[in-house]
Structure 1
Amino acid sequence: MVQPMEGIRILDVCDHTFVPAASAVLADWGADVIKIEHAKRGDAARGLGSSGALDLTGKVHAILEHANRGKRSLGLDLQTDEGIAILHRLVAISDVFLTNKPPNVRERLRISEEEVRPHNENIVYAAGTAWGPNGPEGNRGGYDMTSFWVRSGAAMATWYTDDERMPSQPGPAFGDSIGAMTIAGGIATALFHRERTGEALSLEVSLLGTGLWAMGAGVAMSHVSNTPWRPIDLSGARQPLLGNYVTADGYTINITCLQPLPYWQEFCRVIGRPELIEDERFTSYETLTENAGPAREIVNEVVTSRTLEELRELFADFSGQWTPALDTLEIIDDPQVKANGYVQDAETQDGIPFKLVAVPVQFNGEPAAPGRAPGFNEHGDEILTENLGMDWDEVIELKVKGVVA
């Protein structure tokens, strides 16, 4: 299995999900990721009891596993001089320094770029924040719900005016996971640049900036039209093969064919109604859009009179774009997902099996091998003795002082 990041070491000084998930991506690609955790409580995410409506107190901490697969853990007190000295020794043998701390916290913890780079001039310094490093909110904390979803315009863009409540983002760590891929791509690019030029870059990614990027086309269209983007009611679309329909067994399917006339003609043949192709109401783009109502009734009749499986058979050779809407439990067993290895079998540190969504980038057509999150300080002794060359007397003394876990 190809591991393009093999030989790269990442020093991960992060909590929660957004930035840690970035190094999890790189760990899946072969990087050695050393996760620095608080010497007593560990990553703040370990103490998170719930995420919205999801209980995280069971035997599998799904969010922690998602964002920390494949890493090694060291509990280290960064508020002590000895702890910072150990961190600097790790910096010296690492390729990337990664943190999610806001600029003012980096300064307080002595982990700013200015503090880190003197210990390794070739290190890539990467940071992820909620709002970006500059401006009046540069030092504020935030989560993907606040910075990626709500502030970026995404929440308002999905808020139907007749709904009293603004919609929440679709799932836990939704914006975090998208932002993490952005950071991982930035780090990979910075390493490539270093390889070509010898220059070690710094990079910053924010949840706000990533959310804006995700909404980029809508923001641009809003500026051109001087109208805020709002949800589109597909039930009134002026073309029949664009919208949501409900099957006889209660599934919702979405049809999105953006070139209406050729797909309409093919659709008519597939459903056994070729005479509709010559129906004067539907013979041109203009007449089809003018008579979208009657055409939608035909589509609705086809869908509502059949089960999802019957529609799968009916549309097996239809080249138009359609799909059933699945929930987050159904998608695990979806044949297309299974065929591509998008969901993998994994085990916790205690051997408890669970399903883990794979990083979507596949090299040479192979999904990355599934990893697991480390236990708190699981690799602490190993990192101190093998990577830093400490003897056991030194390690024990540091443990007694509380510098390491």
Structure 2
Amino acid sequence: GLAGAISAALLARERSGRGREVNISLFSMGLWMNASDLTIGLMTGRSPQSESRTERINPMWSSYRCADARWIYFVMIQSDRYWPDFCLALGKPDWQNDPRFKDSAARAQNCAALIYEIDRAIAARSCDDWAPIFDRHNLVWAPVRTDAEVLDDPQAEAIGAFAAVDHPNIPGCRVVNSPVEFGDADTIPHRAAPELGQHTEEVALEMGLTWDQIARLKASGTLG
């Protein structure tokens, strides 16, 4: 949020010649990140309530556990659009004729019963077994990755999510790369953070100190 505000202020200065003061707080950013729920409270006068998995208005926007104990997450906001393919993918074509699940309103009213049935269906196969089935039926889904899995995730590798760093003490060191790309701009190589006091002498020389002065400051303990 702050980076975007600064960029907007710089653009406004470029166009108008007038600078802007940018103010932001972590609290206001937290409110902004939860604006959807808070706005409901502001407009209705009722505090938003947290939902459990069995209370989801849309059971096709939730997480489910596979046979191998891995979790998957469905994100199909337009549930009526995806419902027929969803039923076929799970091998439950009869759900389409079940009056409890006929449309989004009925599914919301009977969400606990439907989520119970989806839980049972998903638990019958592993995540790897489900993946081609879901993709073949054009469902919107993704596996829920652990931190360890993300480190070796092929998609993370394909988008250059991790950058190599020439670290003096850690062979094969990698760090998380910036998600921002600027077209055909050259990639700037990452460097390891300096050791404590690594550049003290260089900075002192840039400030105009002589080697004799630096030596005396070191001897007195002023410089480490």
1:266 CA drift (Å): 1.6
**CA offset digits 1:166-219 (Å, max 9, x no partner):** xxxxxxxxxxxxxxxx44444444554555555555544433233232223333
What is the CA RMSD across the aligned residues, in angstroms? 3.2
1:264 CA drift (Å): 0.9
1:278 CA drift (Å): 4.5
C-alpha separation in 2, matches of 1:197 and 1:391:
46
One-letter amino acid of the counterpart of residue 30, structure 2: G
The equivalent residue for 1:329 is: 148
**CA offset digits 1:136-188 (Å, max 9, x no partner):** xxxxxxxxxxxxxxxxxxxxxxxxxxxxxxxxxxxxxxxxxxxxxx4444444
Answer whether contact 2:54 2:111 (CA < 8 A) is retained.
no
The equivalent residue for 2:85 is: 266
1:347-362 pair list within 5 angstroms = 347-362=166-181
Match of 2:76 among 257, 269, 274: 257
Name the CA shift for 1:196/1:270 in 2 (closer, same or farther; >3 Å). Answer: same
**CA offset digits 1:324-375 (Å, max 9, x no partner):** 2222222111222222122233343434443322222222278764332221
**CA offset digits 1:52-78 (Å, max 9, x no partner):** xxxxxxxxxxxxxxxxxxxxxxxxxxx
* 2:123 matches 1:304: yes
1:227 CA drift (Å): 3.4
Name the CA shift for 1:253/1:381 in 2 (closer, same or farther; >3 Å). Answer: same
Name the CA shift for 1:231/1:275 in 2 (closer, same or farther; >3 Å). Answer: closer
The structure with the greater share of residues assigned to helix is: 2
Name the CA shift for 1:216/1:280 in 2 (closer, same or farther; >3 Å). Answer: closer
Name the CA shift for 1:206/1:294 in 2 (closer, same or farther; >3 Å). Answer: closer
Match of 1:385 among 179, 196, 205: 205
**CA offset digits 1:233-281 (Å, max 9, x no partner):** 1222243313221110111222221111111112123344445434554
1:122-133 pair list within 5 angstroms = none
One-letter amino acid of the counterpart of residue 296, structure 1: I
C-alpha separation in 2, matches of 1:368 and 1:295:
51
Gaps of 5+ in 2: none
Answer whether contact 2:59 2:111 (CA < 8 A) is retained.
yes
The secondary structure found in structure 1 opposite 2:182 is: coil
Gaps of 5+ in 1: 1-181
Q: Which moved more, 1:309-318 or 1:229-238?
A: 229-238
The secondary structure found in structure 2 opposite 1:249 is: coil
Answer whether contact 1:349 1:373 (CA < 8 A) is retained.
no
The equivalent residue for 1:277 is: 96
* 2:45 matches 1:235: no
C-alpha separation in 2, matches of 1:396 and 1:196:
50
1:2-401 pair list within 5 angstroms = 182-193=1-12, 195-196=14-15, 202-364=21-183, 369-386=189-206, 388-400=207-219
Q: Which moved more, 1:318-327 or 1:269-278?
A: 269-278
Answer whether contact 1:359 1:368 (CA < 8 A) is retained.
no
State the number of aligned residues.
Answer: 223
C-alpha separation in 2, matches of 1:329 and 1:319:
28
Structure number with bigger Rg: 2
Answer whether contact 1:362 1:368 (CA < 8 A) is retained.
no
Answer whether contact 2:58 2:104 (CA < 8 A) is retained.
no
Answer whether contact 1:244 1:253 (CA < 8 A) is retained.
yes
Structure with the bigger RCO (C-alpha within 8 Å, sep 6+) is 1
The secondary structure found in structure 2 opposite 1:364 is: coil
Name the CA shift for 1:378/1:263 in 2 (closer, same or farther; >3 Å). Answer: same
With structure 2 as the length reference, what TM-score do the two structures score?
Answer: 0.78
Answer whether contact 1:358 1:368 (CA < 8 A) is retained.
no
The secondary structure found in structure 1 opposite 2:178 is: coil
C-alpha separation in 2, matches of 1:191 and 1:219:
31
C-alpha separation in 1, matches of 2:123 and 2:29:
39
Answer whether contact 1:349 1:375 (CA < 8 A) is retained.
no
Identity over aligned residues, as a percent?
Answer: 25
The structure with the greater share of residues assigned to strand is: 1
C-alpha separation in 1, matches of 2:49 and 2:219:
59
Answer whether contact 2:61 2:73 (CA < 8 A) is retained.
yes
One-letter amino acid of the counterpart of residue 340, structure 1: I
Answer whether contact 1:235 1:244 (CA < 8 A) is retained.
no
Name the CA shift for 1:219/1:399 in 2 (closer, same or farther; >3 Å). Answer: farther
